[in-house]
Amino acid sequence: MMMMTMMMTMTTMIQSIVADLAPSERRGKLFGLIGSVEAVGGLVGAFIATAIAEETIASIRGWRLCLGVVGFISVCFAFLLGTLMTEPAREGQRQARGQHNFKQHPQLLQQQQAAAAAAHGNKKGFDWETMRLPTFWLLVLQGVFGCIPWQAFGMYSTLWLELIGYTPLQVAFIGSAGRLAHTFSGIFAGVLGDWSHSRLPYHGRLLCAEASVLFGLIWMTIMLLLLPKDNANHIYLFAAIKVAFCLTATWTPNSTNRPMIADIVPTWARSSIFSIFVMAERVPSSFAGYFVSFLAESQFGYYKPDHVKGLSDAGRRANVVALSTALALMTSIPWILCMFTYSSMHLTYSRDVKRTAQRVAQYERGRYKKIVDVEAEDDDDDDDIAAGKCLLAKAEKVLE
């Protein structure tokens, strides 16, 4: 639990930094690249861990060695980040040259702080202005609906395939084929989202998400309800559908969700808002497995044996039908609701982006105006004054 908490903390910080590094029209590609690298790491890690988990190396169990190596690499990576990485310029760094002047003019410092507070409130807590935006809550709502199918199928896919008759090795092959496809879909989704955004600003990313959800719904329905399940002689057909599913149903995080959050959230609140978004969408979806088991057992006649091999052929086929039907319901209905939620954001996204841009520009105008006035009064370097005036002009242009 502690490991997962720390890993999720790192994830939200990385997403916040990526949002600071790139403009809106290029963020999808960067998010997609990170997603693809993450998928490659997960694929390699799962392969190595599976291979050595039951082995003993230097009197150490393989699974213990895996955890130790992951922890050691994580610490080394954190040290390298802190040493070598140049973090995007923050507000305190940008004001460093002008801050000494405020010491000589405390009344101007108080005015600037008042302007900042009026623009975006207290930065030490949650950014409540962002959490009042309709787009933010629609993104959370689509995440709740969209995560339910992934949680449901992820929990029961192995059991479902074994009930059909596939061996654990064959199940691993089908799953690995899907994970391999996922490594390519991340970067493709990011590039596709950026291209769509350039063609249809405020609508292109949402169209990508709607298409991805629709593709996922189609492939999952084919897999659960249409593929032959009488015997285990169709492994390559299942693997092909799983590859198609993972290539098309995984676009939404990198093409749409993360770039959109970066657009509607000010720089100073991105990390905390990213973490709230992840928590809000994943906690409700954690109950998906319970609802699948409830539907399968109480509504569709699933019989729970002590072991899969203890079932007769008729019992196995009945369980396959029951579990397939329950999974079909727990994937199709949430995805349909998810698609409608994305469609609703066509009405709110552009307005909320402009509202956030005005908030940021209002704050920047007040801040840079004070810096320019103080530096001009103190006869500071003309280059500093010109730079401040340039930034001030940009902020005022946004507010026009």
Higher-confidence residue of 277 and 380: namely 277
Question: What secondary structure letter does DSSP report for 61?
Answer: E
User: Between the CA atoms of 8, 12, 18 and 20, what dihedral angle is there, to the nearest 10 degrees?
Assistant: -160
**b/e per residue 16-31 (b: at least 16 CB within 10 A):** bbbbbebebebbbbbb
The fold of 2-52+125-347 is Growth Hormone; Chain: A; (1.20.1250)
Q: Are 253 and 187 in contact, with CB atoms under 8 Å apart?
A: no
CA distance 369 to 112: 9
Query: pLDDT of 115-173, one tens digit each?
Result: 555 544 445 556 788 888 999 999 999 999 999 999 999 999 989 998 999 988 898 88
CA distance 160 to 166: 9
Among 27-41, 86-100, 194-208, the range of highest mean pLDDT: 194-208
Higher-confidence residue of 310 and 358: namely 358
Report CA-CA distances (Å) from 348 to 136, 158, 278, 370: 10, 40, 21, 34
Q: How confident is the model at residue 174 (pLDDT cuts 50, 70, 90)?
A: very high
- Give the orientation angle of helix 2-21 with respect to helix 27-52, to 10 degrees: 150
Question: What secondary structure letter does DSSP report for 233?
Answer: -
* 160-164, 292-296, 371-375, range with the lowest pLDDT: 371-375
Q: What are phi and psi of 57, to 5 degrees?
A: -120, 115
User: What pLDDT is recorded for position 399?
Assistant: 46
pLDDT greater than 90 at residue 199: yes
For the chain, how many residues are written?
400
Residue 208: CA count within 13 A, CB half-sphere: 31
Q: Are 247 and 211 in contact, with CB atoms under 8 Å apart?
A: no
User: What pLDDT is recorded for position 276?
Assistant: 82
Mean pLDDT of the chain: 80
Q: Which residue's entry shows tokens 């970067």? A: 187
User: What pLDDT is recorded for position 275?
Assistant: 81
pLDDT greater than 90 at residue 382: no
Residue 31: CA count within 13 A, CB half-sphere: 33
Give the mean pLDDT of 360-387. Answer: 56
Q: How confident is the model at residue 365 (pLDDT cuts 50, 70, 90)?
A: low
Q: Are 237 and 64 in contact, with CB atoms under 8 Å apart?
A: no
pLDDT greater than 50 at residue 96: no
pTM assigned to the model:
0.78
Radius of gyration (C-alpha) of the chain in whole angstroms:
26
CA distance 27 to 23: 6
Among 96-105, 122-131, 287-296, the range of highest mean pLDDT: 287-296
CA distance 166 to 309: 11
Q: How confident is the model at residue 102 (pLDDT cuts 50, 70, 90)?
A: very low
Domain ranges for the chain, please list them.
Answer: 2-52+125-347, 91-120+353-399
User: Between the CA atoms of 33, 34, 35 and 41, what dihedral angle is there, to the nearest 10 degrees?
Assistant: 110
**b/e per residue 289-304 (b: at least 16 CB within 10 A):** beebbebbbeebebee
**Start-to-end C-alpha separation, the chain:** 49
Helix (H) or strand (E) holding 56: strand 56-57
150 CB contacts (<8 Å, ≥6 apart)? 285
Three-state SS across 311-324? CCHHHHHHHHHHHH
Tokens of 170: 């064959």
